[in-house]
Amino acid sequence: MIFAAIAAEPAAVMQGNIIVEYASLILGIFIFMAFLIVTIILNKYKLDIGPWIIIAFAALFITASEFSLLVIKNIVLHQFMIFVGFMLLFFAAIFKYWDIMELTQ
């Protein structure tokens, strides 16, 4: 049974989770907009933006990966966008680490 699910088409496996997929798309858009609004407000008051813009675009790439899997049904594009999103989150974590190290020295 497990091997049949692995060998099945990704679209056939996904049909049971269509509500979860649409919910993740909607939540991803809201998360992207929230981080973008934080970045705009920080920039408006001439404060340090920090890694917020990178986190916003990481959320956008992860949301776009869900869109590519749900609508376009392209697993390779989905995996690539997930990889790019996680790389952006990795760089944001490194930038935040450097900011914290500056504050503690």
Quick one: what percent of the chain has pLDDT higher than 90? Answer: 52
- Per-residue pLDDT reduced to its tens digit, 89-101: 999 999 989 988 8
pTM score of the predicted model: 0.76
At CA 9, angle to CA 5 and CA 14, rounded to 5?
75
- Per-residue pLDDT reduced to its tens digit, 44-66: 999 888 888 999 999 999 999 98
- Separation of CA 85 from chain center: 5
Phi, psi of 19 (to 5 degrees): -70, -40
Question: SS3 of 45, please?
Answer: coil
